[in-house]
A and B are shown apart, each in its own frame.
Chain A
Amino acid sequence: MVGTVETILVILISGFFGLLMGALPGMTATLAVALLLPFTLFMDPVPAIAAIITMSAMAIFAGDIPGALLRIPGTPSSAAYVDDAYRMTQNGKGVLALGGGLLASSLGGLFGTAVLILFAPAIGAFALQFTSFEYFWVAVLGLTTAVVISQGSQLKGGISLMIGLLISTVGIDVTLGIPRFTFGSAELTAGISFIPVMIGLFGISQVMINLLSPDSWSSPNVSEVWPKGSVGLLFRSVWKLRTRLLSGSAIGGAVGSLPGAGSDIAAWVAYAVTKNTSKRGHLFGRGKGEIEPIIGASSANNSSVGAAYIPTLAFGIPGDTVTAILVGVLLMKGITPGPELFSSDTSTLYSIFILFIIANILMVPLGLVAIRASTYIVNIPRPILLTTIVSICIVGSFSVNNTVFDIAIMLLFGILGYFLTVTKVPLAPIVLGIVLGPIVERSFMQSMIATGGDVTQFVTRPISLVLMCLVVLVLMLPLIRKVFGGVFSGVGRMKMRERL
């Protein structure tokens, strides 16, 4: 299935699209995936998965490009080491900063894929023992983690999650088939379409944000990135830092596999660990810039991309926003992520593994082309770019059900997404709420009906009890952070510094 002409074409096109979107300042990997959604609607499942995997991996690497050239991280995942990359480019070592990041991203991505291949089947086999009680707790764990580790206030993360859960309740209810929140509208009876909501939240709101920051539109004066004879130096430098690459990849693999954690958190944790353990840690983000944090954090953010698919594939619980969107796409295609994937739909599962390997290998040649073309990419005129995004958003939303109602939904959620961003409410929990809401409700109602309303089953079954304890532990995480500080406080300080 992976070797078809359609899939290969999709991989190449989405790879270039991901590089383009990631390299544009202010455009995120999630926005790129949201714009891609209407196209995936018309693809078979494997090419659709290929498009999302390839594009998100490429976009996360390409986020390094504007970081190195302009000191503007292309995606939040690149923010951790933006100072070092920019300083190196200013000192004529742009190829080392970007090329080092590229190699680290590719190798980190392959490491994350290995983690995925090794652990997902084992966890999936374990999940076969789950009943609706355990699924309820796993889904609650995913939602809780998303809120607790969400950027900014956890309360706002909670509000964001409730918005997502509420959206998921619109339409026919999952147990008795009674319409809810439809107010007599035929369009709402089928529920609110996932794609227009995503396009609105991440596409239209991003356009509004960009329109209100015209300072970032001016043509940048970028430094020389690719002086002659620097490629050999690049490979030697990365080889010297192979231990750092390995530790960064391991951190990315561990953080990425947590439900709700994303590549930006993986990058910040790896940066903090690299800084705390390196002899040159005091020089990070200063002077001429250092390649060590770039290698550590770049490998971590791409490693986490693969690892984020572990909870997604094993439990059907998304690891981050992009995988949450992927789960939505899979459900639309009639594929239910979860343990069944490991017993009955192994061809899709192995396709996902192979696609990850291809995407991470392909990242090197495509990334080198993107680095060479970087000065042109960051100069794409913003009026043309933003106008085209608006048009793609309109057509993309329309194409879901061939109705302007979905465009109105997109508009509504675009405005909502903007105001939520302004009030610093994270958007990721909304996506998780929409995707996991029906799972939480269905598993809860099934359990209640099966036991005649006996809620004790949720806490007396051994696996349920363990999962419930994990939920409690996650809820206590902010307190644990305060008490133990350590790495997390390092991350917090650096995030704070970035925001100042």
Chain B
Amino acid sequence: MSPQHVDHRQRNVDSEEVPGVKPLSDGLLSIASIVGGIAVVLYSTTLPTPSGGSFGPGLFPGIVGSLSALFGFVLGVALLAQIMARREDRTSLVGEREALKASERRGRLSSHWWDVAAALGAIGFYILLADVLGFIVTISVIQIGLMIKFGSKIRWSFVIGVISTLILYAVFEQLLLIQLPDGFIG
């Protein structure tokens, strides 16, 4: 393994840096915090206040909402200042290089988003169909389907998918006595 290759992988799993993904704009976070904060403040004003008292159930959410909006606003201002400073510094060459790299990365990432969609879809699949199909069938389908989607060989996916489902069933239903959905099997 070349040192360059190792370096690349280290960056990828860094807990702070999300692997290969261009961070979403701080602007969105700022707007979400401001809008969310204001919504919380408005909602908290609709909560009743005890007669004769000035501190009701809306006080704490009101403070939280106000602080959220404030943090979002300060973040937005800081971001604007940063953008202004960068505009002055940035050379066109660096900008072009960054744009090229970002476009390459986007191309590579688009296919992996389907894996993420499959994983999240599998959770939705369980929410919608577990009561009908039952735990064993639903989780088996999820396990096998996801393993194949993520690149495992089909034969191994079936074997490991069924075995791991039965282990999960044994641990949760038999050992921890959780009533998992039975579905049509009954």
Q: Which of A86, A410, A498 contacts B14 (CB 8 A)?
A: A498
Closest partner residue, chain A, to B58 (CB atom): A180
Chain B 122-143 interface 0/1 with A at a Cβ cutoff of 8 Å (1 = within)? 1110110011000100010011
Any chain B CB within 8 A of the CB of A25?
A: yes
Nearest chain A CB to B104's CB is how many angstroms away? Answer: 14
B164 touches A159 (CB 8 A): no
A42 touches B168 (CB 8 A): no
Chain B 47-89 interface 0/1 with A at a Cβ cutoff of 8 Å (1 = within)? 1101001111111110011011001101100100000000000
A181 touches B61 (CB 8 A): yes
The B contact surface, by secondary structure, is helix
Known: A162-B64, A169-B61, A399-B172. A156 touches B13 (CB 8 A): no
Interface centre among B131, B160, B178 (most CB of A within 10 A): B178
B71 touches A158 (CB 8 A): yes
- When distances are taken between beta carbons in the complex, the residues of chain B under 8 Å from A155 are 71, 74-75, 78
- When distances are taken between beta carbons in the complex, the residues of chain B under 8 Å from A86 are 6
B72 touches A453 (CB 8 A): no
- When distances are taken between beta carbons in the complex, the residues of chain A under 8 Å from B7 are 71
Any chain B CB within 8 A of the CB of A344?
A: no
- When distances are taken between beta carbons in the complex, the residues of chain A under 8 Å from B21 are 212, 422
Any chain B CB within 8 A of the CB of A131?
A: no
Any chain B CB within 8 A of the CB of A402?
A: yes
B13 touches A72 (CB 8 A): yes
A419 touches B74 (CB 8 A): no
Bound-complex Cα distance A422 to B116 (A): 14
Chain B 28-59 interface 0/1 with A at a Cβ cutoff of 8 Å (1 = within)? 11000100010010010001101001111111
B164 touches A211 (CB 8 A): no
- When distances are taken between beta carbons in the complex, the residues of chain B under 8 Å from A391 are 139, 142-143, 164-165, 168
Taking CB atoms and an 8 Å cut-off, the chain A residues in 46-100 that contact chain B are 70-73, 75-76, 79, 82, 86
Any chain B CB within 8 A of the CB of A415?
A: yes
Report how many residues on chain B are interfacial, defined by Cβ distance under 8 Å: 81
B168 touches A25 (CB 8 A): no
Report how many residues on chain A are interfacial, defined by Cβ distance under 8 Å: 85
Among A228-236, A322-330, A378-386, A473-481, which stretch is in contact with chain B?
A: A378-386
Any chain B CB within 8 A of the CB of A425?
A: yes
Any chain B CB within 8 A of the CB of A189?
A: no
Closest partner residue, chain B, to A164 (CB atom): B64
- When distances are taken between beta carbons in the complex, the residues of chain B under 8 Å from A42 are 176-178
Bound-complex Cα distance A162 to B68 (A): 6
B47 touches A180 (CB 8 A): yes
Taking CB atoms and an 8 Å cut-off, the chain B residues in 146-160 that contact chain A are 146-147, 150-152, 157, 160
- When distances are taken between beta carbons in the complex, the residues of chain A under 8 Å from B109 are 212
Q: Which of B9, B16, B127, B172 contacts A395 (CB 8 A)?
A: B172
Any chain A CB within 8 A of the CB of B179?
A: yes
Bound-complex Cα distance A175 to B59 (A): 11
- When distances are taken between beta carbons in the complex, the residues of chain B under 8 Å from A499 are 14, 16-17
Bound-complex Cα distance A181 to B41 (A): 12
B57 touches A176 (CB 8 A): yes
Q: Which of A28, A75, A162, A398 contacts B37 (CB 8 A)?
A: A162
- When distances are taken between beta carbons in the complex, the residues of chain B under 8 Å from A390 are 119, 122-123, 142, 146
Q: Which of A71, A163, A387, A410 contacts B143 (CB 8 A)?
A: A387
Bound-complex Cα distance A399 to B177 (A): 10
Bound-complex Cα distance A390 to B139 (A): 10
Known: A216-B9, A425-B29. A453 touches B14 (CB 8 A): no
Any chain A CB within 8 A of the CB of B103?
A: no
A453 touches B112 (CB 8 A): no
Closest partner residue, chain A, to B66 (CB atom): A162
Bound-complex Cα distance A381 to B148 (A): 12
Any chain B CB within 8 A of the CB of A276?
A: no
Any chain A CB within 8 A of the CB of B174?
A: no
- When distances are taken between beta carbons in the complex, the residues of chain A under 8 Å from B58 are 180
Interface residues in chain A, defined as those with a beta carbon under 8 Å from any beta carbon in chain B:
25-26, 28, 39, 42, 70-73, 75-76, 79, 82, 86, 151-153, 155-156, 158-159, 162-163, 165-166, 169, 173, 175-176, 178, 180-181, 204, 207-217, 220-221, 381-384, 386-388, 390-395, 398-399, 402, 404, 407-408, 410-411, 414-415, 419, 421-425, 437, 440-441, 444-445, 448-449, 453, 498-499
- Starting from the known contacts A159-B33, A211-B116, A384-B164, 6 additional A-B residue pairs (CB-CB under 8 Å) come to A42-B178, A73-B13, A155-B75, A175-B55, A204-B119, A390-B142
Sample (27) of A-B pairs whose CB atoms are under 8 Å apart: A155-B75, A155-B78, A156-B29, A162-B65, A163-B68, A166-B40, A169-B60, A173-B57, A178-B48, A180-B57, A204-B119, A204-B123, A208-B119, A212-B113, A216-B13, A382-B150, A383-B147, A386-B119, A387-B143, A387-B150, A390-B146, A392-B168, A394-B123, A407-B127, A411-B127, A423-B29, A499-B16
